[in-house]
Amino acid sequence: MQKILNILFFVMSAISYGQVTVLTDVNTKEPKQNEPVVLTIVQEVVGENMVQESPLQLMDLSKFDIVGSASEQNTFIDQKKGIRVNQLIYQLYLQPKVTGRVKIGSALITVNGKRYKSEPFDILVKETSRAETEYLSKDVYLNVEVQDKEVYENQPTVAVLRAYSKNYDNFRKLENIKFPQQNNARIKPISYKKQDIENVNGEMASQVIAMFIIFPEEAGNVEIEPVSAMVKTPEINKIVSNKVKINVKTLPKDSPENFKNAVGKFQVSIKEIAKTEPLEVNKPIDVLVKISGLGNLDEDKLPKLLESKDYTFFKPQIISKLSTNKNGVKGSITAKYVVIPKHEGKINISTEPFSFFNPELNQYIDLGVKSIVLNVLNSAQIAAQKSTIDIVDDYTANVLNSVPLPVIEKEKHTQSYRFNFKNLFSGLAVLVMGTFLFFLWIRPKKKALVTVENKPITTIREEEEKIKNLLKPGFEANLEYLKTLLSNRDYSAFFATYEELQQDAEQHIQQKFGMGLKAFLENYKGSQFTEDFRNLEQQISIEKYSPIHDNSHLEELYNSITAMYSEIME
């Protein structure tokens, strides 16, 4: 980072000598073989009439593997000279393919028909020992890529965390990804879903291992601190990514007085939880205040109830239903208030005024105050509205609640009974009729039993094999249930049902083949199928403990579960 600052300082000092400047530098001029080299290219085009006619042309980098890249472009006005400055900072993460002295050539641009280039220089790539080569061949690097580097304050922008390595096994060992906590930006994870491994150049590969969203909370150049992760190998413990800069634009100055840094699209509502009984003075009323939408949504954005001499209220219960995606935080936050009216008549319950900034329209939206009007009655008015039956019911209920009822003790009484001949004869008649119908029902059964052919005699071993085959669990029903749980987004039940399916399969294989599921796969399904099954188990385990579940990814896992277990249980 200090190198970049030095380059920028040199460029700014050179503005007075030329209108176009191209500079290059590296983090080290004596790297070891396979050690990453950070190449930084800075170009400056100064002046309103300076037209860049070609994009930045890179030098020959055939002696390097390009591990990753990042860029940042800024346009600002030089306050002293009053002229416009277009600035581009481009960084490349390189790994040398060869040892010895390697030349890094010139970067070129064309402005107003004239070509400008940076000065070439040499670096000395040193050989590494065998132990260092083995260590570096297993190394893994992290790089953060921000999709939109120019946003407003509190406007979300998506960042992608990508891992680079020559050893494919390292991608499976990455875990415990942690995002930075800083005062000038708020960061929320979107997904920890690992995407397909891509071949970057030669032996180097890359994989997206996480996505997160950034809410910058102050204007200017906001630097996002590195993301860290752990690699489960004896040689490597903690690794960190690069830092990224975001150009945060200041919000327009004509903001409403009630603006609380809400950026996105929002709606606010207030309503009373409907009751069948009329509203009465000094009796509690449930009132809901709700904010919903998409943006930098959190509890602080929720407008509060305004205090009034007409009513009192208590601290609300907050209910959040939020999810994070690439566009921001989506969902709703509801405050459930208990309001107590102080007098009868019309009572107006209102929220604080609320406004937000819509970055798509580039303007503020003022929703104002949201209110509801309630008609509150006193006890005499409520009594006057009741019917005679309602009054009798209330009076009876009050009497039952206020008068203590005596406890009646149970006493045993002996009673004498007279023999009833009528009941005796009726019971005998029912018994005779039931016996007659029973014999009529079993008579054809006996005939059928005479005509049944004798089953062929089988050995005990053959019968055991038939019983084992009949023990095959109803995994198809489990698969259908998994599909239902997935459509209902009941993820905890989904993973619990999958574990039951796995236990049933394990038990079935043990009873039928006398071996465990893993041994069965290796002996009967082959190494490729076994490896695919292990990968499926790993993906399910990762998704199970992920704080945010991606339904589309779970649908892919469900299809893989169906295909694999159908083949296992055939």
Q: Domains of the chain: which residue ranges?
A: 1-137, 139-250, 259-380, 422-452, 467-568
With 50 as the cut, is the pLDDT of residue 468 above it?
no
Q: Are 211 and 159 in contact (CB under 8 A)?
A: yes
Task: State what percent of residues in the chain have pLDDT above 90.
Answer: 13
CA dihedral 501, 507, 512, 514 (to 10 degrees): 140
Task: Give residue 448's pLDDT.
Answer: 42
Q: What is the mean pLDDT of residues 242-248?
A: 88
User: Where is pLDDT greater, at 265 or 140?
Assistant: 265
Q: Using a pLDDT cut of 70, give the percent of the chain over it.
A: 76
Q: Which of 377, 367, 131 is nearest to 270 (CA)?
A: 367
Q: Which of 172-186, 475-489, 547-561 is predicted most confidently?
A: 172-186
Q: Which two tokens stand for residue 204?
A: 């180097």
Report the candidate in 264, 249, 247, 244 with the shortest Cα–Cα distance to residue 180.
244
pLDDT at 386: 61
Range 523-544 average pLDDT: 78
Least reliable range by pLDDT among 214-228, 349-363, 385-399:
385-399
CA distance 143 to 213: 15
397: left (phi over 0), alpha (psi -120 to 50) or beta: alpha
Pick from 8, 9, 39: nearest CA to 26:
39
pLDDT in tens, 9-41: 444 444 444 588 888 988 888 887 667 788 888
Taking the alpha carbons at both ends of the chain, their separation in whole angstroms is 60
| Domain 139-250 architecture | Sandwich (2.60)
Taking residues 339-353, what's their average pLDDT? 91
Residue 262: predicted pLDDT: 92
Q: DSSP letter for 126, please.
A: B
The residues with which 365 forms a beta bridge, in sequence order, are 356
- Out of 115-119, 232-236, 287-291, least confident range: 232-236
Return mean pLDDT, the chain. Answer: 78
Summarised one tens digit per residue, pLDDT across range 108-118 is: 888 888 888 89
At residue 388, the pLDDT reads 56
Q: Do domains 1-137 and 259-380 have the same CATH topology?
A: yes
Please report which confidence band the pLDDT of residue 397 belongs to, taking 50, 70 and 90 as the band edges: low
Residue 366 has a pLDDT of: 93
Of 228-232, 301-305, 435-439, 566-570, minimum mean pLDDT range: 435-439
Which residue did the predictor score with more confidence, 237 or 565?
Answer: 565
Highest mean pLDDT, choosing among 111-115, 300-304, 463-467, 507-511: 300-304
User: Which of 117-131, 317-331, 438-452 has the lowest average pLDDT?
Assistant: 438-452
Does the pLDDT of residue 500 top 90, yes or no? no
Mean pLDDT computed over 465-478: 55
What band does 73 get if pLDDT is binned at 50, 70 and 90? Answer: confident
Most confident option among 179-188, 430-439, 471-480: 179-188
Torsion of CA 431, 436, 439, 443, to 10 degrees: -160
Residues 237-242, mean pLDDT to the nearest whole number: 83
How far apart CA 379 and CA 194 sit, in angstroms, is 64
Q: Which CATH class is domain 1-137?
A: mainly beta
In this prediction, residue 546 carries a pLDDT of 59
Query: Does the structure show a pLDDT above 70 at 288?
Result: yes
Residue 227, pLDDT above cutoff 60 = yes
What pLDDT, on the 0 to 100 scale, is given for residue 205? 84
Band of residue 79 on the pLDDT scale cut at 50, 70, 90: low
Span 259-380 CATH architecture: Sandwich (2.60)
pLDDT of residue 236: 63
Q: Which whole number is the average pLDDT over 560-568?
A: 85
DSSP string, 219-259: SEEEEEPPPEEEE-SSS--EEE---EEEEEEPPPS---TTE
pLDDT the model gives residue 487: 83
The mean per-residue pLDDT over the stretch 211-226 comes to 89
Residue-wise pLDDT tens digits, 407-449: 554 444 444 445 555 666 676 777 777 777 776 666 554 444 4
pTM equals: 0.48
Pick from 40-44, 274-278, 500-504: least confident: 274-278
